[in-house]
Structure 1
Amino acid sequence: MSDITWEEPFCAEGANCFRLGTDSEGNAYIAVAGQEDRPLVDTKEALRALIREIKAGRADHLL
């Protein structure tokens, strides 16, 4: 796995924490904080699209 630069954990309601990361090869990573050795991996553009859709409320039905 490439060297991943992780952002600080984002925690919603104190217990549900995740981290976003990127590498020099153009990949984006999402992991549960503390489980960075098992991330989901996709392109940076795919991560941008996911975040845009969540912000637009298109994933609210999943909650």
Structure 2
Amino acid sequence: MTDHIAWEDPFCGEGNNCFRLGTDPQGNAYIAIAGAEDHYLTDTREALRTMILDIKAGRADHPL
């Protein structure tokens, strides 16, 4: 159940899937394909932040 996760608005890369980032009250970070938030990856906020910054900077392909 993802009721405890506060999801941000979807981020859609050009030609890629849209994904969403979220956090919970304990500070854990989550990432999911928009519309499929029940199936998510979780890691530390810093790890996911680094991955997203690399994607946005073009150093990595989309993760999902």
Would you say same fold, with TM above 0.5? yes
Which TM-score applies when normalising by structure 1?
0.74
The structure with higher relative contact order (CA 8 Å, sep 6+) is: 2
Task: Give the share of equivalent positions with the same residue, in percent.
Answer: 70
1:45 paired residue number: 46
2:17 paired residue number: 16
Unaligned runs of 5+ in 1: none
**Structure 2 letter corresponding to 1:20:** L
CA RMSD of aligned residues (A): 2.2
Unaligned runs of 5+ in 2: none
CA–CA separation in structure 2 for the residues paired with 1:44 and 1:21: 9
- Greater fraction helix: 1
Alignment coverage as a number of residue pairs: 60
